[in-house]
């Protein structure tokens, strides 16, 4: 294992410990604070019809209050579903309260649905992504499986440079990474295939990717 990979592994371990150590009442307060902030300041959530969320695990910030609000507003809410061990990509299954759930190979609940009922990332208008850590350039460090990066690369690969910023495919959903404030790191290592969220948001921070030169 290279020093670079050891560094990323150590960062993940450090921030997972910090995240999991948050007491339940702080988790609860952060969840509702972030829900309120997103509803007030993320305009795309009011335009989106098909929104992918996630079920919080291992201390991730909980978006269930936001998901329930969106359902009450008539939005269609989806959850990620693991693909096969070979393709290591995500599909998205529509979710409603009370729907039967099955745990995937990582123990994360997924809607029990037929494969033909699944949607792709390109079908989503807005995708919320969990994170282990984030930095001031908007880089997101996940759990290390690369599932979101592989999935979103099919519709969100960067194209040309335009006015100092990266242009993406028109089929790319709006990408919002969510986390706790304590998950902020000054600078994270970045791979060439990493997908950068349009917005990283926590109860006290919101980071939009800066110019193209930040990544290259």
Residue 38's SS3 state is helix
Domain span at residue 202? 3-214
- Rounded to whole angstroms, the Cα distance separating 97 from 119 reads 19
Indicate the pTM of the whole model: 0.88
Total count of residues recorded for the chain: 216
CATH number at residue 31: 3.40.50.10420
**Mind listing the pLDDT tens digit for each residue in 165-210?**
444 455 689 999 999 999 999 999 888 888 899 999 999 999 998 6
Give how many domains the chain has, as a whole number. 1
pLDDT tens by residue, 115-158? 888 999 999 999 999 999 999 999 999 998 889 999 998 777 55
């Amino acid at each position: 294992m290279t020093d670079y990979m050891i560094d990323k592994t150590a960062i993940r371990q450090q921030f997972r410990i910090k995240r999991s150590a948050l007491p339940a009442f702080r988790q609860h307060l952060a969840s509702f604070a972030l829900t309120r902030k997103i509803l007030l300041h993320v305009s795309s959530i009011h335009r989106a019809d098909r929104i992918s969320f996630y079920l919080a695990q291992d201390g991730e910030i909980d978006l269930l209050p936001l998901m329930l609000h969106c359902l009450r507003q008539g939005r269609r809410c989806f959850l990620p579903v693991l693909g096969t061990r070979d393709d290591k990509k995500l599909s998205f299954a529509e979710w409603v309260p009370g729907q039967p759930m099955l745990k995937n190979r990582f123990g994360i609940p997924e809607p029990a649905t037929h494969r033909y009922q699944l949607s792709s990332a390109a079908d989503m208008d807005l995708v919320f992504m969990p994170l282990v850590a984030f930095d001031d350039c908007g880089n997101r460090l996940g759990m290390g499986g690369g599932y979101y990066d592989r999935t979103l690369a099919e519709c969100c690969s960067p194209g040309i440079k335009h006015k100092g910023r990266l242009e993406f495919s028109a089929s790319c959903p709006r990408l919002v990474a969510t986390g706790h404030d304590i998950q902020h790191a000054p600078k994270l290592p970045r791979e060439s295939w990493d997908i950068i969220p349009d917005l990283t948001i926590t109860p006290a921070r919101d980071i939009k990717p800066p110019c193209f030169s930040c990544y290259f």
